[in-house]
Amino acid sequence: MKTQQPANPRAQAVLSLIGHTPLTPLRFAPEGVMILAKCEFLNPSGSVKDRLAKGVLLDAERRGLLRPDSIILECSSGNTGIAMAMVGAAMGYRVTILMSSSASVERRKLIRQLGADLILFDSAGRYQTGIEISREMAAKDSRYFLPRQFENPLNVEDHEQTTGQEILAQAGGPITAFVHGFGTGGTLAGCGKAIKKRWPQARIHAMEPAEQALLAGECPCCHFIEGVADGFIPPLLRDAPIDGHIEVTSADALAMTRRLHHEFGLLVGTSSGANIVAALRLAGELGPDGTVVTLLCDRAERYFSTALFDLVGGERTAERAASQTQGSGGQFFSSLGKP
């Protein structure tokens, strides 16, 4: 994939913010291990998917596949939709996103806010439904351009050449293991390839929701880790260098994500917590000399309406807290002139 400038210079403002995210060390004192976490939630639309949108749309423009009247049409459970809407808006193209009606309301609002059209479909848990609808629409109207995130080899290539190379440079030494969930499989396959080429002994692992461990041969089921395991093994994972998979329950993923919020101050989404659970397990197996890398995929704000923000133990408003204690809460309200 060649580096290039967008036809519309205005797009550079947001495109230049995509990628080159930090690789930050997370020290888990109780476990006595350190994980290197690539902060993809710092991309401008808030997720790793900004890389895919930038790579595929710039490539399409360069090859003359995008015309002024083109409509970018993608099926997405959220993050790709938001990323395509953001990059499409900046590059000056119309965008239509097909999304399962079960996707969180925050994601829908962001897509609309970026000026894209949103078509909701009832998938009954089958992601393929959206892909089929997009193909039918494209067959009837030549203005549609399909980035095809689930099949497009650029998805893997771009992660191998950008995310993967950044990780290698930022780790500054041997990587013993890399673990990540998969939606399209682009991130796992691309980063896995880059790391394996440089460090052939590195173990590449797929994180899977325990309720739906497809690589273990289980059937599609329900889980709370949005963005990963959409009910099928994606074609882009076919030639990915995967040494094993680690199953993480939704409960463990949610608990770890809240821990990342409370203990580290990192406001990330549920799949990031799941990745860290898997990374900690690997780090425990590899011992103190292991260097385990994973990704923090997206931001917590995307999950306000989901189980991640169902407060354990109930929510206490400031006023209730003040009425229940004689301490600082009460003094705070007194200082405001309240009884």
Ligand X SMILES: Cc1ncc(COP(=O)(O)O)c(C=O)c1O
93 forms part of the interface with ligand X (CB under 6 A): no
Tell me: does residue 152 bind ligand X (CB under 6 A): no
Active site residue 271: yes
Contact 154, 51 (CB under 8 A): no
181 contacts ligand X (rule: CB under 6 A)? yes
Nearer to ligand X among residue 145 and residue 182 (C-beta):
182
300 scored as a contact of ligand X (CB under 6 A): no
Query: Phi-psi bin for 103: left (phi > 0), alpha (psi -120 to 50), beta?
Result: beta
Cβ burial, residue 245 (10 Å; 0-12/13-18/19+): middle
Q: Which of 7, 39, 4, 26 is nearest to 295 (CA)?
A: 39
Which of 59, 74, 158, 298 touches ligand X (CB under 6 A)?
Answer: 298
CB of 215 to ligand X, least distance (A): 13
Q: How many residues bind ligand X, per CB under 6 A?
A: 19
Determine which one of 38, 45, 47, 49 is catalytic: 49
Taking the C-alpha atoms of 210, 181, 128 and 71 in order, what is their torsion angle to the nearest 10 degrees? 150
Per rule CB under 6 A, is residue 209 in the interface with ligand X? no
Give dist(CA 129, CA 313) in Å, integer: 38
Position closest to ligand X via CB: 227
Q: Of the ranges 28-36, 102-110, 123-131, 180-188, which one interacts with ligand X (CB under 6 A)?
A: 180-188
Among 19, 55, 183, 290, binds ligand X (CB under 6 A): 183
Q: Is 187 in the site for ligand X (CB under 6 A)?
A: yes
Q: How far is the CB of 150 from ligand X (least distance, A)?
A: 8
Annotated catalytic, 193? no
CA 187 to chain centre: 9
In whole angstroms, the minimum distance from the beta carbon of 269 to ligand X comes to 6
According to the binding rule CB under 6 A, does residue 186 interact with ligand X? Answer: yes
Length of the chain equals: 339
Q: Does 273 bind ligand X (CB under 6 A)?
A: no
27-56 footprint of ligand X as x/- string (CB under 6 A): --------------------xxx-------
Nearest distance, CB of residue 242 and ligand X, angstroms: 12
Question: Residue type for 45, please?
Answer: S
Q: Which helix (H) or strand (E) holds 91?
A: helix 79-91
Instruction: Choose one: 16-24, 104-112, 175-183, 211-219; the region binding ligand X (CB under 6 A).
Output: 175-183
> Is 127 a residue that touches ligand X (CB under 6 A)?
no
Convert 234-282 into a string of H (helix), E (strand) and C (coil).
CHHHCCCCCCEEEEECHHHHHHHHHHHHHHHCCCECHHHHHHHHHHHHH
* Helical packing angle, 153-161 and 163-171, nearest 10°: 20
Q: CA 183, CA 298: separation in Å to the nearest integer?
A: 13
Residues tagged active-site = 49, 271
The residues of the shown chain that bind ligand X, judged by CB under 6 A, are 47-49, 79, 180-188, 227-228, 269, 271, 297-298
